[in-house]
Amino acid sequence: MTTNKLLDLFDNHDGEYVSGELISRELNVSRTAVWKQIRKLESQGYQFEASRRLGYKLLSIPDQYSPEKLNGLLQTQHFARPVHWFDSVDTTQNVAQQLAENGAPEGTLVIAEQQNNGRGRMGRGWISPKGKGIWMSMVLRPTIPVHFAPQLTLLTAVALCRSLRRLTAMPIGIKWPNDLLIDGKKISGILLESAAQDTMLRYIIAGIGISVNLETSDYPDELLERVTSLRIASGKKLEREAVIADFMLEYEQLYNAYQANGFEPIAALWESLSVSLHKPARLTTPQGVIDGVPIALDQSGAIEVRLEEGNTVLVFSAEMGEPAN
């Protein structure tokens, strides 16, 4: 019996007692084997309540990654193979970049429990407390021209949105270009950094931050209006390994589809998950502020914005915010 199967069983009986008899019947093992597996899980940081009459109730899951658990759940061919695990790093982006420079294959993933200098878009930082979220960076080596790199940012957001919707059943949407929101609050950020030779990409480092089990006390007060976590939004702690395994499979499948069929199908998925289209917005670009209504995604990954005068412009990079009035 694997502990993963046992954990699945507790997942199906969320917050309830599961009798030793039911476990041994469902998993086809002896009661002693069940007891041993429970002890093993306890040694890994899981907490159970045990009742002679009722059986076992899972009280809490550990705040530390189990590489063994992720390995048991992964169904990908190349993504997250291999995984480099770290307790604490400045940023997983730099570690993955170094690995890529040294020839690490596509799919190489760097995961850290904690980042001391997490990097966000537009020169911002990224809050990455220990054991609470998923802070990871993956090496991609697509054979595409540099100007298509934004397509992969959008693809990453689509894959993550589809996976998190499936896992949490919550109404998660994408704000252009790549923030994931629940009820208008950010739960994830994506940062793609690339290295190029002439016009072709050498590699991309896809940095993904998912606020999984953070609590309100993990954020500065002034941020709480704009950010949340899956735990705060759903009231439930999630197993980070299960989130990573599901996302990696979705990501690999979409990436393969992109290589085979191009960006158009991905753009259609992005539009269907977007919460930014057809609503007035103010876009702060490096060239200045634009007020208008985003109406479509362009093939390059830019957003097409209809201005008040009726004409449209393409915006490639901006911070999207509330409209002026």
**Which residues, numbered 144-183, are part of the site for ligand BTN (CB under 6 A)?**
179
- H-only helix segments in the chain: 3-12, 20-27, 31-43, 67-73, 92-101, 149-168, 230-234, 240-261, 264-273
- Spell out, one character per residue from 265 to 304, where the chain touches ligand BTN: x when CB under 6 A holds, - when not: ----------------------------------------
Of 63-71, 187-195, 216-224, 297-305, the segment contacting ligand BTN by CB under 6 A is: 187-195
Of 37 and 178, which CB lies nearer to ligand BTN in the complex structure?
178
* Strands of 288-297's sheet in order across: 312-315, 303-307, 288-297, 281-285, 319-321
Instruction: Determine, following the binding rule CB under 6 A, whether residue 124 of this chain makes contact with ligand BTN.
Output: yes
Of 19-27, 119-127, 211-219, 221-229, the segment contacting ligand BTN by CB under 6 A is: 119-127
- Spell out, one character per residue from 90 to 109, where the chain touches ligand BTN: x when CB under 6 A holds, - when not: -xxx----------------
Give the β-pairing of 109-115 and 83-89: parallel
Instruction: Count CB neighbours of 32 within 10 A.
Output: 10
Of 107 and 207, which CB lies nearer to ligand BTN in the complex structure?
207
* Strands of 83-89's sheet in order across: 83-89, 109-115, 134-140, 200-210, 185-197, 179-182, 172-175
- Spell out, one character per residue from 189 to 218, where the chain touches ligand BTN: x when CB under 6 A holds, - when not: xxx---------------xxx---------
Q: Which residues, 6 or more positions from 300, have their beta carbon under 8 angstroms from its beta carbon?
A: 147, 148, 150, 151, 314, 316
Of 124 and 278, which CB lies nearer to ligand BTN in the complex structure?
124
Query: Contact positions toward ligand BTN, by CB under 6 A?
Result: 91-93, 115, 118-121, 124, 126, 135-137, 179, 189-191, 207-209
